[in-house]
Chains A and B, each alone.
Chain A
Amino acid sequence: MLLAIDTSAGTSVAVVDRDLGTLVEIGEADTRRHAEVIGEAIRSAIERSGVAVSTLSGVAIGMGPGPFTGLRVGIAAAQAFAFGTTKPLVRVVSHDAVAWGHYAAGNGGPLLVVTDARRREVYFSAYWGADGEGLPVRVQGPGLCRPDELADAVDGYHGFERLDAAEVSAASVGLLAEGLYLHRREFAGPEALYLRAPDATVSAGPKRVS
């Protein structure tokens, strides 16, 4: 049983179980209010699931890609919740959760997941399909480009079914994490998937004032 969180788009919090599936999922589509809603979303997801915090086996978090400020709120919360409950934290690529959801719904074939990166850019990841365990097989990405550059950025672009996701489901994050754990696959690394360097320019020196 996992508490799952994703804030790579809106704020999504879920409690999932490998056998029972999604016990509860709470979503807030607003992409500017992560800090406001995250605490109450976690509290009410746990309360509504009827699960005691002590019986959770861990915390799953979507590591992005996603706009930085909101993405970090979820990761900070997941880290702190795992630390506070001394449960393991497992990380997944948020796009993988979108692909997992697509395949779990009975779809198959090559898939291109695209999400909003703001500043007139998009994040993308490409998948061949699901493997024998239903786990998505990512072949490209996650990457970042302008929308009109996608066809060049993705090898064999026209062979993929394109899925523009406005939301990332925490339940999918959690169930994907359960699948990865069950089949001993690798989780994502500890780095948030920002895919962009911070906005900062090394100054050439002070400007003249006179």
Chain B
Amino acid sequence: MTPEIRGSGALVLGIETSCDETGIGIVRGTTLLANVIASSMEEHARYGGVVPEIAARAHLEALTPALKAALAEADITLDQLDAIAVTSGPGLSGALMVGVGAAKALAVALDKPIYAINHLVGHVGADVLRDDGTEIELPTIALLVSGGHTSLLLVRDLVSDVELLGETIDDAAGEAFDKVARLLGLPYPGGPEIDRVAATGDPAAIRFPRGLSQPKDLEKHRYDFSFSGLKTAVARWVEQKRDAGEPVPVADVAASFREAVTDVLLTKAIAACRDLGVPRLLLGGGVVANARVRELAGVRCADAGIELRIPPLSLCTDNGAMIAVIAAQLIESGHAPSGLSFGADSTLPVTVIQA
């Protein structure tokens, strides 16, 4: 009998409040000990999207209960922690500030070092926490897609070398799902609804535009995304049907829209892998929950001889553990803590891994 191995490395508590999930995670090195998430998603439903002030108010109420729950889940006490980690950006500024204020006070109260972490790099770090024993290989291309961001990254080193290849120039992909769902009379959040309805639709029924995919656009925006034009094209198509008094084939519209988003996401991600000679693609963000995104990623990566990695869904959506694990990696590689004077930066560039 071998004794229970709980992993080695720094014991870190991570606080994530960049959007509508209050996430508290605890890791020891690369071992996940707790991942508690309180979401205010339902409160945003009637508005059809995340309302920043509602999200920030919800964080303030959810933080302490989530902290308690995470400590219980990890079965540790606060004094055992080696460090506190917190998302300092990018994200909704009022929401980020709740986490930053709490994390700083907790660090001072416990006299522990604090690490201010980049949310997007956290999404990549989530893969370090999977427990199937396979280790993330670098460099990798990472495609991060959620309601708040759509980014394509080149990750050479988790704690020192992350490069932004491209991002959305208008709506995030998740936002487009929400808007099209509303157009089709489906509830918020749109991702799972579109996914459900699309299951019985024909993805080839309507050829919706693929944003920034024309040769002219590719020159300037090879790895950038745009979903605003797609959203408008879907709206126009649906309006024409309705104006003509014809029924709207909701399943076909949903499937064709989902196909357009998925196609452009993966075409650009695979192009990045090929162009840069990096045969690895990592997915992250809530949109990974979408069945078609996972499926098409599998097919395209297999065709191109690219290794595909998708962390477990509970680590793909926003969470505190992914923030904690980046701090644990920073500690392991000898990086000094962030000090106490960093602020919340809603547009923190991905190259700033630690603020």
Given contacts A39-B108, A81-B105, contact A200 B97 (CB under 8 A): no
Q: Could you tell me if B105 and A210 are in contact, using CB atoms closer than 8 angstroms?
A: no
* Inter-chain contact A72/B56, CB cutoff 8 Å: yes
Q: Please, which residues of chain B bring their CB within 8 A of the CB of A194?
A: 57
* C-alpha spacing A75/B106, complex, angstroms: 12
The answer for the CA separation of A79 and B104 in the assembled complex, in Å, is 11
In the assembled complex, how far is the CB of residue A7 from the closest CB belonging to chain B, in whole angstroms? Answer: 8
Task: Please give me the residue from chain A that is nearest to B81 by CB atom.
Answer: A84
Q: Is the CB of A210 within 8 A of B236?
A: yes
- Per the 8 Å Cβ criterion, residues 1-53 of B in contact with A are 46-48, 51, 53
List the A side residues contacting B108 at CB < 8 Å. 39, 42-43, 46, 81
Chain B's nearest CB lies how many Å from the CB of A69?
A: 5
Contact present for A34 and B341 (CB under 8 Å): no
Is B331's beta carbon under 8 Å from chain A?
no
Q: Are B101's CB and A40's CB within 8 A?
A: no
Shortest Cβ distance from residue A67 to the other chain B in the assembled complex, whole angstroms: 10
Considering the complex, give the chain B residue whose CB is closest to the CB of A203.
B48
> Which residues on the B side are within 8 Å of A198 (C-beta)?
51, 53-54, 57
> In this assembly, does A165 line the interface, its C-beta being within 8 Å of a C-beta of chain B?
no
Name the CB-closest residue of B to A192: B60
Chain B contacts for A37, CB-based, 8 A:
341
Asked whether A160 is an interface residue with its Cβ less than 8 Å from the other chain, the reply is no
Interface size classification for chain B: 35 or more
Interface of B is mostly: helix
Q: A19 on the interface (CB 8 Å rule)?
A: no
B107 is an interface residue with CB less than 8 A from chain A: yes
Q: Which residues of chain B are near A103, meaning CB under 8 Å? A: none
Contact of A40 among B63, B110, B340 (CB under 8 A): B340
Of chain B, the residue at the smallest CB distance from A36 is B343
A64 to chain B, nearest CB (A): 12
Q: Mark B329-355, 1 if CB is under 8 A from A, else 0.
A: 000000000001111100000000000
Partner among B97, B99, B104 whose Cβ is within 8 Å of the Cβ of A42: B104
Residues of chain A within 8 A (CB-CB) of B235 are 206, 208-210
The docked-state distance in angstroms from the alpha carbon of A164 to that of B60 is 28
**Interchain CB contact under 8 A, A33 and B102:** no
Q: How far is A50 from B99 in the complex, measured between Cα atoms in Å?
A: 28
Assess whether A112 is interfacial by the CB under 8 Å rule.
no
- A69 and B323 alpha carbons, distance in the complex (Å): 23
CB <8 Å contact, B182 and A35? no
User: Taking the nearest CB of chain A, how far is it from the CB of B26, in angstroms?
Assistant: 14
Measured CB to CB, the closest approach of chain B to A43, in angstroms, equals 5
**Is B60's CB under 8 angstroms from A209's CB?**
no
CB < 8 Å A-B pair total = 132
- The chain B residue with its CB closest to the CB of A32 is B343
Judge if B103 is at the interface, Cβ distance under 8 Å. Answer: yes
Q: Among A34, A37, A69, A199, which residue has the most Cβ atoms of chain B within 10 A?
A: A69
Given contacts A34-B97, A36-B342, A72-B56, contact A206 B103 (CB under 8 A): no
Q: How far is the CB of A32 from chain B (nearest CB, A)?
A: 10
* A79/B236 in contact, CB under 8 A: no
> In the complex, what distance in Å separates the CA atom of A62 from the CA atom of B57?
16
Given A39-B340, A72-B98, A206-B183, verify A80-B105 contact (CB < 8 Å).
yes
A39 near B104 with CB under 8 A, answer yes
Chain B residue contacts of A46, Cβ below 8 A: 108
Is A73 a contact partner of B56 (Cβ separation < 8 A)?
A: no
Q: Is the CB of B340 within 8 A of A43?
A: yes
Which residues of chain B are near A34, meaning CB under 8 Å?
97, 101
- With A33-B343, A80-B106, A81-B108 in contact, do A203 and B47 touch (Cβ < 8 Å)? yes
Within 8 A of B (CB), among A184-204: 192, 194, 198-203
Q: Would you call A73 and B179 a contact (CB within 8 A)?
A: no
Taking a contact as CB atoms under 8 Å apart, the answer to whether A42 and B105 are in contact is yes
A74 interface residue (CB < 8 Å to B): yes
Verify A80–B103 contact, CB threshold 8 A: yes
Q: Judge whether A38 is part of the interface by a CB distance below 8 angstroms.
A: yes
**Contact present for A77 and B101 (CB under 8 Å):** yes
A196 to B47 Cα, complex, angstroms:
17
Chain B: minimal CB distance from A120 (Å): 18
Residues 50 to 101 of chain A near chain B (Cβ within 8 Å):
53, 68-69, 72-81, 83-85
Of B51, B78, B96, B344, which is within 8 A of A84 by CB? B78
Interface contacts beyond A34-B97, A69-B56: sample of 19 additional A-B pairs, CB < 8 Å, sorted by A: A35-B101, A35-B343, A39-B107, A39-B108, A40-B340, A46-B108, A68-B53, A72-B94, A72-B97, A76-B59, A76-B60, A79-B60, A80-B67, A80-B102, A83-B67, A192-B60, A200-B47, A200-B51, A206-B235
- Please list 19 pairs of residues, one from A and one from B, whose beta carbons are closer than 8 Å in the complex, sorted by A's number: A35-B96, A37-B341, A38-B101, A38-B104, A40-B341, A43-B108, A46-B108, A68-B53, A76-B102, A79-B102, A80-B64, A81-B106, A81-B108, A84-B105, A202-B47, A203-B48, A209-B236, A210-B236, A210-B240
